[in-house]
Structure 1
Amino acid sequence: MDDACPFCFAESASPDRELPSNELAYIRLDGFPVSPGHLLIVPKRHAADWFDLTAEEQKAVMVLVEEGKRWLEVNYQPDGFNIGMNCGEAAGQTVMHMHCHLIPRYQGDLEDPRGGVRWVIPGKADYWSNR
């Protein structure tokens, strides 16, 4: 545990009890949600990113992605999902404790949602217009 890490502190101080967790990871609501119900799946061990996790921790995170999806379906009824991780500063990671975003999507939340996660690099996202 890193005392300065917001995710290490959050899990030890007050995990969201209503959200699923397991021995190696937990789910919390995102503090700066991009949509209603935006979740973070966070390993309990402090590790910088996905590639620093053990195979068991990676599996535990993916199990919680599925459990988080079911929880969102019951509590928020989204129409779709984006799942993503930022690994390293060049990829946009700002908290250096691995976390997976599970972002519920809703019909009409964007005028044109085509491309989804491809918009991480806007000039490369639209592959369908210039064919």
Structure 2
Amino acid sequence: MVKQLLLRILPSFPRSFLPHSSISLQVRSISSSAIKMTSEHYTFGPYKIHQSEVFYSTHLSYAMVNLRPLLCLHVLICPKREVKRFVDLTADETSDLWLTAQKVGRQLENYHKASSLTFAIQDGPQAGQTVPHVHIHVVPRVGGDFEKNDEIYDAMDQKEKELKEKLDLDKERKDRSLEEMAQEADEYRKLFL
């Protein structure tokens, strides 16, 4: 199934992109029950996120596939509570968000045989944030995915700019089909069983 999904997604990526605050002292462990998918409602700023796009969830955070990924494998980690700015997260939300990013990053890096990870937050409109909901970009990286390593940040800024210019409730979610994103999320969900 992953092979079929990648064969459908990969042609849309430029060839050069493809692989060859304080934290609460009470850090809760993420149990296996944290990954159970329910009929829970997810939002990303003003947008409803279909449960099929979410592949991992804790009591405070969730991980979803990306509508407009920079590279194949680029996912987003979000707090369940709609919070516009990173500084407005609670200590528990901050801890859970980063622990979720760490866990998801580790699993995707291993799954896709990547050699590194990029974690990024664009916190506020002047930082390039286009959806007013805190989120961490997790991007598994391989050698040569960008000619110059830091070009990923320019690419991220460009994607965010394009998204902002096209931001329309009826248009912004058409880049990848719900079916494609659900298939990808289903594959990633298996990593957390």
**Do the aligned residues in 2 keep the contact of 1:82 with 1:117 (CA within 8 Å)?**
no
Which residue in 2 is equivalent to 1:5? Answer: 46
TM-score norm. by structure 1 comes to: 0.76
Higher relative contact order (CA 8 A, sep 6+): 2
Which residue in 2 is equivalent to 1:22? Answer: 58
The percentage of aligned residue pairs carrying the same residue is 28
Equivalent residue in structure 2 for 1:35, among 57, 71, 84: 71
**Any idea what the Cα deviations from partners look like across 1:76-122, whole Å, max 9, x if unmatched?**
1212111111111110010001111011111111122158659989x
Gaps of 5+ in 2: 1-41, 158-193
Q: Distance in 1 between matches of 2:127 and 2:107?
A: 28
TM-score norm. by structure 2 comes to: 0.53
Q: What amino acid is aligned across from residue 14 of structure 1 in structure 2?
A: Q
Indicate the structure with greater helix content: 2
CA offset at residue 75 of structure 1?
Answer: 2.3
Cα distance change on mapping 1:4 and 1:103 into 2, 3 Å: closer
Equivalent residue in structure 2 for 1:98, among 134, 141, 148: 134
**2:86 aligned with 1:45, yes or no?**
no
CA offset at residue 28 of structure 1?
Answer: 0.5
**2:105 aligned with 1:69, yes or no?**
yes
CA RMSD, aligned part only? 2.7
**Any idea what the Cα deviations from partners look like across 1:29-64, whole Å, max 9, x if unmatched?**
111111111110000001002111101000010111
Q: Distance in 2 between matches of 1:4 and 1:87?
A: 13
**Do the aligned residues in 2 keep the contact of 1:24 with 1:57 (CA within 8 Å)?**
yes
Gaps of 5+ in 1: 122-131
Dislocated runs of 4+, deviation >6 Å: 1-4, 118-121
Q: Distance in 2 between matches of 1:32 and 1:95?
A: 13
